[in-house]
Amino acid sequence: MKILVVVRERAETGEIEKMLQRIVPKSEADQDDRDDCRKVIGIAGDGKTGYEMIRRECPDLVLADVELPEMGGLEMLEKLRGDHSDVKAVLLAEKEDFSQAKRAIDLGVEGYLVKPVREDELRQAVVRAGEKLKREHMAEAVLSIENIFLACLNGQLSPDSDFNRMTRQRFGFTVEEPGAVFAVWLGDSFEEQKEYARSVIEQSKDFGAGRASRVFEARAWKILFVVLYQMENEEREYTYFQKEIVPKLCQQLLGTVVCIWAKAERIVDLPDVLKHMNFMKDWNLLFDRGELIRQEAIDGQKTVPLKYPAEIEVRARQAVAAKDGEEIKRAYYSLYDYIQREPHSPGEMKECLIRFNMALLNVYKTQWEIESEVEIQRCMQAISTAMSWREVRAAMDSFLTMLRFNAFEEKEDSRLSPLVRKAVQIARKYYDQGITLEEVAGRLYVSEEYLSSQFKKETGAGFTETIRKYRIDRIKELLIGTKLKINQIAELTGYADSKYMSRVFKEETGMLPTEFRKAAH
């Protein structure tokens, strides 16, 4: 331990040095510190000189008189604290003074000793300072921004003044200060895509320049998140993530990608911030893919009450009774159009979809038995937790599959062989989810080459050509029969990018989707 002494009377220094020589560590574990406890690296006779020496020499412990020429010991220590110095200090007073003692305690001194100084009191103060230094050195050995934020996330951090002083001195901030969090939800594809998503974020231009931490993982919530601290301009950081990070994630990742931004009044409250963001993600149903959602945007949504579409339900119930799969599909698309025509709260929309399904299920039960009530409940649960219309559509399709009649079967399928008929029905069901010939062949336990040849032989078209046709036909149907926006139609037909969908549509029809809709009406 390096000690610097600042006292008025030079003679007192010799006495203090003799005491320090006699101070021996209490245990063998501290034996290596014996020489350090005796090491006086400097002596000053006034506060101003002492302050300059402390700044220059960086001692571990300062022994200083309260009353000094030029600058008093308390004033010197206050100035050091103002410089973010956490040097340990023992103050020596001529007499007991409550106001002085209180100021000393507020400055975090290891001892406030009244002269003449007793050796046992000095020993206790030096040992106290040494033990505190050891604890701090141990903490610093594992202290990193990443570990700090992980401790916040796990609720393991209860910062005190010493911890805050340490983090401010080392990193320039404390977890009591405000920050922001960027999070990306990946849904069921979290495990498959998290590492790729992490690399997309971390390798983006200028990532980290705005005081952003590395990318963290919250597996239970299926998210990756980044903590931003010491932000000079929160709006600028939000804009960076919106324009630089989010587009790359949405372009390069498959499936559900929900990006959320939230302010943190205190970084230590990270668990509460993430819980709130988990609630915010449901509002993704009202935003386009590729938007960075924040609370201000949610508050700006002028939602209206959702009136249940009884007429569409009647159509769908009649279709179930008649086992008319095509009419059921049309009813569902009418339902999607209806609930997306105006902004409604996510809860109301999901409640409407579940109620609609249960109405159809009740009709079904009057004629047929349900194979698995558990699977039906899983489908309803999937709807209630869906974050995107793609997930809603998948859950609704799974619900229809639970029913014994096949909503994806059409009359002309009867002319096909069982193998190709199944392949066609799989293509109809999953054309909007990027299904490939290889995947279909795997499901049907045949080679890709054999299925490809049989598929083209019996249908007259290749598998990829068929998928493209299904998409184009469905786009036409939605353009003519609904008022869905172009980006909503793109999502329902399997296109992550509405501009790309428009380009493909024009190649096939000679018109852009907006032109086709206008001509049809």
The pTM assigned to this predicted structure is 0.63
Q: What is the pLDDT of residues 255-297, one digit of tens each?
A: 788 999 999 999 999 999 999 998 899 999 998 888 999 999 9
Residues forming a β-bridge with 92:
65, 113
Higher pLDDT, 393 or 511: 511
Is it the case that residue 19 has pLDDT exceeding 90? Answer: no
Kindly state the percentage of the chain with pLDDT values over 90: 42
Mean pLDDT, range 211-233, rounded to an integer:
87
User: Average per-residue pLDDT in the chain?
Assistant: 86
Please give the pLDDT value at position 408: 56
Is it the case that residue 182 has pLDDT exceeding 60? Answer: yes
Find the helix or strand (DSSP H, E) in which 12 lies. Answer: helix 10-22
Lowest mean pLDDT among 160-174, 189-203, 265-279: 160-174
Kindly state the percentage of the chain with pLDDT values over 70: 94
Q: Tokens at residue 508, please?
A: 């096939």
Mean pLDDT, range 79-107, rounded to an integer:
88
For residue 69, say if its preceding peptide bond is cis, omega within 30 degrees of 0: no
Lowest mean pLDDT among 129-138, 163-172, 475-484: 129-138
Report the b/e string of 298-329 with b at 16+ CB within 10 A. Answer: beeeeeeebeebeebbebbbebbeebbbebbb
Contact 312, 331 (CB under 8 A): yes
Is it the case that residue 11 has pLDDT exceeding 80? Answer: no
Mean pLDDT, range 222-226, rounded to an integer:
92
Residue with tokens 């340990």: 88
Residue with tokens 């046709």: 469
Mean pLDDT, range 46-53, rounded to an integer:
92
Measured CA distances, 314 to 200, 303, 319, 328, 468 (Å): 47, 26, 9, 11, 32
Is it the case that residue 177 has pLDDT exceeding 90? Answer: yes
Is it the case that residue 238 has pLDDT exceeding 90? Answer: yes
For helices 463-481 and 418-430, give the axis angle rounded to 10 degrees: 50
Mean pLDDT, range 184-204, rounded to an integer:
90
Give the span between the Cα atoms of 33 and 25, in whole angstroms. Answer: 7
Band the pLDDT of 391: cuts 50, 70, 90. confident
Please give the pLDDT value at position 31: 46
- Give the CA count within 13 Å in the CB-facing half-sphere of 51: 19
- Identity of residue 273: V
Is it the case that residue 33 has pLDDT exceeding 60? Answer: no
Lowest mean pLDDT among 28-32, 92-96, 464-468: 28-32
State the DSSP string of 343-373.
Answer: ---HHHHHHHHHHHHHHHHHHHHTTS--S-H
- Identity of residue 137: H
Find the helix or strand (DSSP H, E) in which 65 lies. Answer: strand 61-65
Is it the case that residue 415 has pLDDT exceeding 80? Answer: yes
**Edge-to-edge strands, sheet with 223-229:** 216-218, 223-229, 179-185, 258-264, 292-293
Give the span between the Cα atoms of 146 and 80, in whole angstroms. Answer: 29
Please give the pLDDT value at position 160: 83
Where does residue 386 fall: left (phi above 0), alpha (psi -120 to 50 degrees), or beta otherwise?
beta
Is it the case that residue 28 has pLDDT exceeding 50? Answer: no
Higher pLDDT, 378 or 170: 378
Band the pLDDT of 108: cuts 50, 70, 90. confident
Q: What is the pLDDT of residues 401-412, one digit of tens each?
A: 777 555 555 667
Is it the case that residue 139 has pLDDT exceeding 70? Answer: no
Please give the pLDDT value at position 259: 95
Higher pLDDT, 387 or 144: 387
Give the span between the Cα atoms of 294 and 279, in whole angstroms. Answer: 11
Give the span between the Cα atoms of 149 and 151, in whole angstroms. Answer: 5
Please give the pLDDT value at position 328: 85
For helices 98-106 and 73-82, give the axis angle rounded to 10 degrees: 20
Residues forming a β-bridge with 91:
64, 112
